[in-house]
Structure 1
Amino acid sequence: MRDHGAEDESPSGRQFQLTRGPWRATVVEVGAGLRMLSVDGREVLDGYSRHVGCTGARGLPLITSLDRSPVRTVGTAGTAGTAGTDEVHLPRSQRWICREQSDHHVLLGVDVRSTRNGADCLDVSVEYQLSRSGLTVCTTAVNTGIQTCSYAAAHQPYLKFGSRIDACHLRIAADRYISTDPHSAALTTQASCGSEFDFSSAAAIGRQNLEVAFTGFHRDADGRAWLWLTDRCGATTALWVDQSYPFIEVYTSHTQAPPHFRTSLGVKPATCAPGARRSGEGLLMLAPGQSTSSTWGITAPPS
């Protein structure tokens, strides 16, 4: 495993380069993000250069917690915590500690501390592991504090094919969706079947602007839910989530500035629903000493 180490002056910090069979990945110290992923030389993610910082939370784990509910988003663009709550803040610029590494995996961790008393509240780790069939990512959190805290996790990879996603076909078997468009009046859950967001069979994305969370998945025998993105030549990238992720948010990058405008599909596995700060849907309550893990992955099935 190549590790540029302390001499690396990249804005994203140390670069952990993983390899296994046809797969290559680069994980970074700053934000514990997934900067690059490729298979047989094909770039799977719309990542970023080691010479620039991460934008749009590309490839970043997004952790959410408070010592008391309701919750504040941590590791994303900060929204103010509710008065009377003790926020746990983890900025995107946080440098994570490498706890384990090999040629095909790396484990990064961080202690998330309370801003009020400085005590550890959460120990969070993210493990990236390559196999010959693809990438697996496992996020684990342990409540190391002295009181129960709310917790949720998400991850923000952007899947790409060529320069535009308009010609790609999307498939995700889900019964319901929640619009996450910031211009929507309310976050309401609706049936996917027969709607403009029905991708139970593969359908072209076209010029459609997607900013939606899917739920109610049709899972396989292993409890995994799948999303498939296929280009016009039949090449496919598939993303799966385990049962700890009841939501997958999908975003067509239509509000991104060039050069990222509609170049990729943001696919965010999430353990909680959009708007969980208000509704509490999907938030976990971790007692002192309690832990939780969630796993997702990417593969590239044969055409």
Structure 2
Amino acid sequence: MPMIAARSSSTAGRMVNLVAAPLMPHRLSVQMAQPFPSGEQFQLELGDQRAVVTEVGATLREYSAGGRRLLDGFESGQMCSGGRGQLLLPWPNRLRDGSYQFGDHLLQLPLSDPERGHAIHGLVRWLPWRPLERGPDRLRLGLTLHPQPGYPFTLDLSAAFKLAGDGLTLTLGAHNPGAEPAPFGAGAHPYLKPLGDRIDGALLHLPAAGYLELDESLVPTGRRLSVEGTRFDFRRPRVVADTVLDTCFTDFEEPFASLDGIRLWFDPQHSFLQAFSGDTLHRDRRRRGLALEPMTCAPDAFNSGLGLVVLEPGQEWSASWGIGLDGALTEAAVVLTADGP
């Protein structure tokens, strides 16, 4: 065992002998700051609005306005689950068997939905995005998506978040710097938070006249159906009740959807919206929020071509959607919640 050498010293006029003593081993405890699972947290503020976007996935983790949390997101110490707030690029939703033909090439992607044997929700959800511009009420993040198995194309992507008086706007951008065309689609996965604990008593308004028929693996069959007379008809606001949704809506009479007074709007680039009630999530998150996912193309668009964008070499593309509070719809939802469904 190591020893401390003996020596003599004088303290307050007295001689003190320091005898040899064993150097006892000990463990040094150091409190280290742990990194967030979702990387750096970018906070935006304007008035009573607050949003948090994460480095990983350019994910909208949190958004509140008027003293109300509008999103069913996740905490800074957690890893994102259920796609909460993530961006879905360069395709949203499911791609059948993870395979598609583009030009003369038959391409195979990793099966990120192994239960059903599909590729799902793109390639950027778990990648780190870099800040390009920052301000108190705005943020623009960027990412270069490099060629990889199943998607041998390069894309320069951007996501710009901006708070204004009417809410939060997100503008997605894409640029093809390569020499070949690239297939492309975009989507996002925010869960809107109801006034109550569950979506069952929430007031939902989806002014969509049609929806896509899905097969047993949740991929479109190619048939577009009318919502008339079905459980999917929310053209007039009504309570969700026990309706199970994992449904792609289209043919919107007006480009928005709302839940308990939270309004999600989208520009004409977005022709589809997936509604997901979360019934297949872990039991403590089921039906706690309603995912309303604006999408520029249909599920499996790389195969069907429905809404697919082909980015030519040098082409740039952008699309926007946003979230805010609708005062009139909020008041109606509050009354409904107080009275009960």
TM-score normalised per structure 2: 0.76
Paired residue total: 279
Q: Deviations over 1:21-58 (max 9, x none)?
A: 22110000001000001112211101001001111111
How far 1:216 moved relative to its partner? 0.7
Aligned to 1:168: 202
- Report which stretch shifted further, 240-249 or 195-204: 195-204
1:241 aligns to 2:241 (yes or no): no
1:192 aligns to 2:218 (yes or no): no
1:19 aligns to 2:48 (yes or no): no
Aligned to 2:126: 93
Alpha-carbon distance in structure 2 between the residues aligned to 1:75 and 1:121: 20
Could you say which structure has the larger radius of gyration? 2
Task: Give 2:293's aligned amino acid.
Answer: K
Classify 1:121/1:8 alpha carbon distance in 2 versus 1 (closer, same or farther; 3 Å). same
Select the residue among 245, 253, 270 that pairs with 1:218: 253
Q: Deviations over 1:97-134 (max 9, x none)?
A: 10001000110110011127x99711000111111221
Q: Deviations over 1:191-250 (max 9, x none)?
A: 11222211110111101101111111113xxxxx010112xxxxx101000000000110
Alpha-carbon distance in structure 2 between the residues aligned to 1:24 and 1:71: 42
Classify 1:46/1:260 alpha carbon distance in 2 versus 1 (closer, same or farther; 3 Å). same
Aligned to 2:143: 110
Q: Deviations over 1:110-159 (max 9, x none)?
A: 0011127x997110001111112210001000001110011000000000
Alpha-carbon distance in structure 2 between the residues aligned to 1:194 and 1:285: 36
Classify 1:183/1:119 alpha carbon distance in 2 versus 1 (closer, same or farther; 3 Å). closer
Query: Where do residues 261-276 of structure 1 align in structure 2 (5 Å cutoff)?
Result: 261-276=286-301
- The answer as to whether partners of 1:62 and 1:76 remain within 8 angstroms in 2 is no
- Report which stretch shifted further, 183-192 or 89-98: 183-192
How far 1:181 moved relative to its partner? 6.8
1:32 aligns to 2:67 (yes or no): no
Runs of 4+ in 1 over 3 A off after TM superposition: 65-81, 179-186
- The answer as to whether partners of 1:44 and 1:237 remain within 8 angstroms in 2 is yes
1:143 aligns to 2:173 (yes or no): no
How far 1:90 moved relative to its partner? 3.0
> 5+ unaligned residues in a row in structure 2: which ranges?
1-32, 92-99, 332-341
Task: Give 1:34's aligned amino acid.
Answer: L
How far 1:178 moved relative to its partner? 1.4
Alpha-carbon distance in structure 1 between the residues aligned to 2:50 and 2:187: 22
Root-mean-square deviation over aligned CA pairs: 2.6
Alpha-carbon distance in structure 2 between the residues aligned to 1:193 and 1:244: 25
Aligned to 2:238: 203
Alpha-carbon distance in structure 1 between the residues aligned to 2:59 and 2:274: 18
Higher relative helix content: 2
How far 1:264 moved relative to its partner? 0.6
- The answer as to whether partners of 2:112 and 2:118 remain within 8 angstroms in 1 is no
Q: Alignment identity in percent? A: 33
> 5+ unaligned residues in a row in structure 1: which ranges?
1-6, 82-88, 220-224, 231-235
SS of equivalent residue, structure 1 residue 64: coil
